């Protein structure tokens, strides 16, 4: 006798499936062992990195979303998001942000992040072709399409801003060519040109899992604090995608480490490399958090303490059982946390004519905030510098750096960071390879180069390209009379010379802002024009 209940017609009711069972039934068995073609020809990129996978089916699916559920869930999110974006545009929401300095920060996001989301999308698309197991492939394609979503919605959310402000209307050109965007671009291209396992370790684990909160926090909370509803709604909408991506990051690392002991040293090397690469790339966020948000969320130092030292520390303690230790040179990030944003903003200030956004010196109120947030470093090293520069500005002789900076061959920042133990000495490192000398900003960047010199000699360094005469628009003739290399190089980069960069107080965005809104372009200083109505 069967114990199973049958219905009136004598049929056995279908078994109830849990979400997980349903997902696995519909998805996991889709692949098969090929017999007409060799497996190594179909999945040709899986062995050359030295990673060993014995059992692809041991993969734990982090998403468990079938497409029917995905479409409905995402479709609803999209419907809401575009309703908000439409309303934002109709209501001239761009004028509700704190002041026009906030818009300068958005420029870095639009010009850099859209391209990064896109790079990530293409990178995960490669994995969705190259991995052998169905589980990891579906996870990769889910993330690939999410990243395409992010690039798309960011463009749509920011499209409205670029109609009213300078420096955002050439984002594809800037992504390909602007000197400081070469930093994040080279980061993702490094990952995309690596093998599939290094890519997923770099992006899913080191970047998404370990560092992503440091991106989201200043950007999304910063947007919320500063009245940028368009970005906030995008951010909320992307948050559930990001949660999936972070889960993927930790699943990937566990999967690689559990499959074979020989994977451990390789993965550790990648963690070391990508932690340092990611950390260097995030330096720009440190400057944005401390200097560019008119209403600040928290300091870079506080963010690093919470999101890396505490959370990251706990994570790596957890990974110890696999034989994984903290990333190399993490101690140095702790030394640098009181310095990085200040050193970077000072650099942007000095190089402001080559920038794609307006820059300013911190106000008295802002400097007091930094003294409080950076008690050991700000008053000692940076306040005197800013006060001196303010004097020069008041005299009408603002300080600026003439010439071109030396770039780090690995991270591509100008060599602007100081020695780990001595914040008064700039840090320079060098390597020789095939008779050529290469420069680095740090030991971390030098190590990365020394491990893969053949790869990193191909880095396109904008300053070198300018010196070689190869960073000019087509048809520009360096021998022509009156040829202005700086003007030509900026034009090539998608930066309008004399418009996009320079001092914020003279910037067209600042003047237009006051004309349009009747509010000061910088809430911490007096108005820059007569357009602001005097009250009281």
Q: What residues numbered 83-102 form the site for another protein, per CB under 8 A?
A: 92, 95
Only segment of 25-33, 248-256, 261-269, 270-278 that touches another protein (CB under 8 A): 25-33
Q: Residue 236, class by beta-carbon neighbours within 10 Å (0-12 exposed, 13-18 middle, 19+ buried)?
A: middle
Q: Which stretch binds another protein (CB under 8 A): 14-22, 257-265, 322-330, 337-345?
A: 14-22
User: Which residue from 136, 184, 195, 235 is in contact with another protein, where contact means CB under 8 A?
Assistant: 195
Q: Which residue has the tokens 């300078």?
A: 166
Q: Per CB under 8 A, does 44 bind another protein?
A: yes
The pair of three-digit structure tokens given for residue 269, joined into one six-digit string: 């090397």
Q: Is 453 in the site for another protein (CB under 8 A)?
A: no
Cβ-proximal residues to 320 (8 Å cutoff; 6+ apart), any chain: none
The residue (of 199 and 255) whose beta carbon lies closer to another protein is 199
Pair 46, 132: CB distance under 8 Å: yes
Does residue 37 bind another protein (CB under 8 A)?
yes
DSSP reduced 3-state for 426: strand
**480 contacts 488 by C-beta, under 8 angstroms:** no
- Closest approach of Cβ 124 to another protein, in Å? 9
Judged by CB under 8 A, the number of residues near another protein is 95
User: How far apart (Å, rounded) are the C-alpha atoms in residues 494 and 498?
Assistant: 12
User: Is position 129 an interface residue for another protein (rule: CB under 8 A)?
Assistant: yes
Write the DSSP string, 463-506: HHHHHTT-SS-TT--TTSTT--HHHHHHHHTT--TTTTSSBGGG
Give the shortest CB-491-to-another protein separation in angstroms: 12
Q: Per CB under 8 A, which of residues 161..190 are in contact with another protein?
A: 162-166, 169-173, 175-177, 182, 185-186, 189-190
**Quick one: CA dihedral 376, 378, 382, 388, positive or negative?**
negative
75 counts as binding another protein under rule CB under 8 A: yes
Burial of 309 (0-12, 13-18, 19+ CB in 10 A): middle
Structure tokens at 218: 């200043």
Based on CB atoms, which residue is closest to another protein, 80 or 380?
Answer: 80
Residue 521, interface with another protein (CB under 8 A)?
A: no
Smallest gap from Cβ 265 to another protein, in A, equals 19
Residue 238's φ and ψ, nearest 5 degrees, are -85, -15
Does 375 bind another protein (CB under 8 A)? Our answer is: no
> Residue 426 — φ and ψ, nearest 5°?
-65, 145
**β-pair partners for 440:** 429
Q: Minimum distance from CB of 516 to another protein (Å)?
A: 5
Among 100, 105, 139, 194, binds another protein (CB under 8 A): 194
Q: How many CB atoms lie within 10 A of CB 315?
A: 17
Question: In this chain, which stretch among 160-168, 257-265, 271-279, 390-398 interacts with another protein, using CB under 8 A?
Answer: 160-168
**Please, are residues 346 and 456 in contact by the beta-carbon 8 Å criterion?**
no
Candidate residues 52, 148, 485, 519; the one interacting with another protein per rule CB under 8 A: 148
Residue 525 neighbours by CB distance under 10 Å: 18
- Least Å distance, CB 48 to another protein, is 7
From candidates 1, 41, 396, 480, binder to another protein by CB under 8 A:
41
Nearer CB in complex with another protein: 89/311: 89
Range 199-203, long-range pairs (CB < 8 A, 24+ positions): 199/123, 199/126, 199/127, 200/127, 200/140, 200/252, 201/252, 201/253, 201/256, 201/267, 201/270, 201/271, 201/274, 202/270, 202/273, 202/274, 202/277, 203/120, 203/123, 203/124
Q: Is 9 in the site for another protein (CB under 8 A)?
A: yes
Query: Which span (19-27, 50-58, 244-252, 256-264) binds another protein, by CB under 8 A?
Result: 19-27
Q: Which of 153, 233, 347, 350 binds another protein (CB under 8 A)?
A: 153
Binding mask 471-510 for another protein (x = CB under 8 A): ----------------------------------------
Contact between 371 and another protein by CB under 8 A: the answer reads no
Please, which of residues 51-70 interact with another protein by CB under 8 A?
66-68, 70
Provide the minimum distance between the beta carbon of 110 and another protein in the complex, in angstroms, as a whole number: 10
Residue 358 within binding range of another protein, rule CB under 8 A: no
The smaller minimum CB distance to another protein, of residues 166 and 208, is found at 166
Going by their DSSP bridges, the two strands 429-433 and 436-440 should be labelled as antiparallel
Cα separation, 391 vs 398, in Å, equals 8
Shortest spacing between CB 533 and another protein, in angstroms:
16
Interface pick for another protein out of 56, 348, 456, 472 (rule CB under 8 A): 456
Instruction: List the one residue from 6, 20, 47, 48 that touches another protein (CB under 8 A).
Output: 48
Distances (CA, A) of 367 to 363, 370, 425: 6, 5, 23
CB count in 10 Å sphere of residue 178: 26
Q: Is 346 in the site for another protein (CB under 8 A)?
A: no
Question: Does residue 192 bind another protein (CB under 8 A)?
Answer: yes
The reply to whether 144 sits near another protein by the rule CB under 8 A is yes
Judged by DSSP in three states, 440 sits in strand
> Helix or strand or coil: residue 48?
coil
Question: Which residues, 6+ apart, have CB-to-CB distance to 32 below 8 Å?
Answer: none
Number of residues that this document lists for the chain: 536
Compare residues 240 and 425 and give the one whose CB is closer to another protein: 240
Site map (CB under 8 A) of another protein, residues 106-125, x = contact: --------xx--xx-xx--x
């Amino acid at each position: 006798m069967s114990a199973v209940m049958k219905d009136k017609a004598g049929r056995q009711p279908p078994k109830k499936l849990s979400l997980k069972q349903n997902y696995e039934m519909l998805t996991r068995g889709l692949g098969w062992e090929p017999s007409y073609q060799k497996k190594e020809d179909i999945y040709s990129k899986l062995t050359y990195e030295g990673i060993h996978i014995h059992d692809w089916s041991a993969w734990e699916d982090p998403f468990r979303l079938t497409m029917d559920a995905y479409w409905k869930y995402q479709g609803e999110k999209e419907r809401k998001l575009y309703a908000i974006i439409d309303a934002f545009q109709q209501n001239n929401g761009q004028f509700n942000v704190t002041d026009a300095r906030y818009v300068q920060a958005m420029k870095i996001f639009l010009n850099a992040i859209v391209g990064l989301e896109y790079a990530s999308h293409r990178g995960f698309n490669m994995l969705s072709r190259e991995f052998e197991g169905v589980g990891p492939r579906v996870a990769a394609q889910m993330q690939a399409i999410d990243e395409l979503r992010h690039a798309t919605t960011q463009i749509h959310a920011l499209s409205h801003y670029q109609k009213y402000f300078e420096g955002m209307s050439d984002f594809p050109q800037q992504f390909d060519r602007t000197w400081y965007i070469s930093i994040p671009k080279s980061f993702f291209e490094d990952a995309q040109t690596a093998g599939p396992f290094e890519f997923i370790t770099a992006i899913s684990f080191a970047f998404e899992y370990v560092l992503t909160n440091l991106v989201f926090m200043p950007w999304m909370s910063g947007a919320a604090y500063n009245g940028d509803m368009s970005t906030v709604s995008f951010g909320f909408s992307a948050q559930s995608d990001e949660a999936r991506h972070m889960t993927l990051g930790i699943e990937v690392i566990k999967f690689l480490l559990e499959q074979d002991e020989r994977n451990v040293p390789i993965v550790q090397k990648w963690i070391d490399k990508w932690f340092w690469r990611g950390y260097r790339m995030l330096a720009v966020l440190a400057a944005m958090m401390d200097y560019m948000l008119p209403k600040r969320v928290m300091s870079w130092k506080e963010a690093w303490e919470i999101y890396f030292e505490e959370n990251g520390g706990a994570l790596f303690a957890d990974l110890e059982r696999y034989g994984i230790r903290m990333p190399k040179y993490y101690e140095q990030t702790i030394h640098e946390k009181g310095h990085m944003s200040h050193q970077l903003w000072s650099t942007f200030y000095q190089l402001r004519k080559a920038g794609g956004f307006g820059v300013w010196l911190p106000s008295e109120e802002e400097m007091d905030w930094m003294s409080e947030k950076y008690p050991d470093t700000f008053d000692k090293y940076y306040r005197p510098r800013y006060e001196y520069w303010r004097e020069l500005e008041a005299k009408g002789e603002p300080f600026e750096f003439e010439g071109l900076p030396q770039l780090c061959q690995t991270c591509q920042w100008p060599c602007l960071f100081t020695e780990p133990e001595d914040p008064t000495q700039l840090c320079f490192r060098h390597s020789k390879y095939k008779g050529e000398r290469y420069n680095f900003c740090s030991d971390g960047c030098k190590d990365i180069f020394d491990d893969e010199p053949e790869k990193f000699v191909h880095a396109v360094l904008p300053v070198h390209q300018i010196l070689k005469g190869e960073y000019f628009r087509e048809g520009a003739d360096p021998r022509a009379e009156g040829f202005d290399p700086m003007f030509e190089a900026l034009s090539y980069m998608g930066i309008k010379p004399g418009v996009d960069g320079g001092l914020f107080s003279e910037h067209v965005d600042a003047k237009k802002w006051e004309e349009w809104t009747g509010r000061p372009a910088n809430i911490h200083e007096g108005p820059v024009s007569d357009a602001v109505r005097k009250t009281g």
